[in-house]
Amino acid sequence: MENNNWFESLLTSPRLRIVRHLLLQLLILLLSLNALGSESEVFVLSGERFWGLLLFYAILNILCYLNIYLLTPRTLLRGRIDKYIGVIIAFVIAFILLAILTQPIHSDEFTYNSMPLLSIIVEITSSFLSTCLVFIATSTIVLLVEWMKEQKRVGELKLATKQAELNLLKQQINPHFLFNMLNNANVLLKCAPKEASQALLKLEELLNYQLNDSTKEFVSLDSDINFLNDFLNLEKIRRDCFDYSITKKGETVGIQLPPLLFIPFVENAVKHNPDIENESYIHIEFEIKDTELRFRCENSKPVIPLAKGRVGGLGLQNIHRRLELLYSNRHTLSITDEDKQFTVLLIIKQQ
C-alpha cells in the first residue's frame, strides 16, 4: 500500500511535478543517444552527430509534450481512438522523414545512400516502432494519471455521501428520541411531582449529551453507557414495574465509538416493553474481548403483543444502515424474537 501511495504521489502530486519532468527528460535523452550510434554499434561523438543528437532530442520533446498536453487529452480521453491512431501515424512518419533528411550526408561512416535497401527498411521500421512506443508510453502515463485522479474523486465523493447519509440518520434518530424524553418528563410532572426534580436533572444530562456529544464523530464507550443508564433510570422513575441492568465485562476505557450507536436498540426495548401488570425488564451487557465489542440487549415482551409486523420500525432500520456505513464487514447483528423475550446481539470488530 505504501509503494502504491508513493507511486501515485509521483504521478499526481503537484509538489513532484519537476521530478516528473526531469525523469521524462532523462528518458528522452537516453532515446536520443541512438543518434550517436554508428554502423559498427559504437557511439561516435562528432560535430555532425552532436547536432543530430540535439535535433533528435528536440523533436522527441516536441512529440512527447504534444502527445501529453494536446493529442491524448483531445482525442484518446474523449474516446476518439481512430483519430488518435491516425494523428500518431502521421506524426511518426513526419518524424522519420525529418530524421532521414537530417542525417549527416557527408559522414565518413555511412549514409542512407550507401546503405543496402534491406538495412534502410529495417532501420526505418525500427525507428517507426520505437517512436510509436514513445507515444504509447506517454499516453499510458496520461491515462494512468487520469484514472488515479478519477479514483480519488470517486473515493472523496463516496466519503462525502457516506458522511451526509450518517448525519441524516442521526438527525432521524435525534428528534424521535427527544420526543420520547419530553413525553416521559411530562408524565412525571403529572403523576409524580416529588420525583420531577430528579427526573429533570437526568433529562438535562441527557439533553446535554444529545445536543453536544452526539455531534462529535466519536465518543467514549463509557459516555455512551452512562447515557443509556440515565435514559433507563428516567424510564424506571416513570414506571412502577420496570427493572433494568447494565453490566460491563472487560476494559472499556479508551474505546471510542460513534455516538448514539446503541440507543435505537434500547429505545426499541422500551417501546415494546410496556406491560405494567407483570414485571418488565431490560438487561444490557457490554463485553470487551480481544478486538471485539459485544453488545447484548434483552427485554421482556408483553403478554399481549402490541401489534403485528416488523419490530423496531424506523429506528432499527436506521441502525442497520448506519452499521453498514460505519463498519461494513466488521460487524455482526443478530436479533432473536421469542415468545417472552426479545434479544439483540451486536458484535463489532475493532480495527
Distances (CA, A) of 203 to 21, 28, 93, 177: 64, 73, 82, 12
Where are the alpha helices (H) located in the chain, listed in sequence order? 2-12, 17-32, 47-66, 72-74, 81-101, 117-191, 193-211, 221-238, 263-271, 313-327
In this prediction, residue 343 has a pLDDT band, given cuts at 50, 70 and 90, of very high
Domain boundaries, the chain: 2-155, 192-349
Range of 154-158, 228-232, 241-245, 293-297 with top mean pLDDT: 293-297
In this prediction, residue 311 has a pLDDT band, given cuts at 50, 70 and 90, of very low
What integer best gives the mean pLDDT of the chain? 76
CA-CA distance, 340 to 248, in Å (whole number)? 24
Q: What is the dihedral of CA 206, 211, 214, 215, to 10 degrees?
A: -170
Taking the whole predicted model, whether its pTM rises above 0.85 is answered as no
pLDDT at 336 (0 to 100): 92
pLDDT at 45 (0 to 100): 58
187-228 pLDDT per residue, tens? 767 776 777 677 677 777 777 776 677 677 788 999 889 889
Which residue in 294, 304, 228, 303 sits closest to 267, CA to CA? 228
* Alpha-carbon Rg for the chain in angstroms: 37
CA-CA distance, 122 to 118, in Å (whole number)? 6
Residue 24's SS3 state is helix
- 233 or 129: whose pLDDT is higher? 233
Q: What is the dihedral of CA 99, 104, 108, 110, to 10 degrees?
A: 20
Where are the alpha helices (H) located in 260-306, listed in sequence order? 263-271
Residue 45's SS3 state is coil
- The 10 Å CB-count burial string (b at 16+, else e) for 92-130 is beebbeebeeeebeebeeeeeeeeeeeeeeeebeebeee
CA-CA distance, 100 to 85, in Å (whole number)? 23
> Residue for cell digits 504534444?
66
- 124 or 141: whose pLDDT is higher? 141
Whether residue 276 is predicted with pLDDT greater than 70 in this model: the reply is no
What DSSP character marks residue 102?
T
CATH superfamily of 192-349: Histidine kinase-like ATPase, C-terminal domain (3.30.565.10)
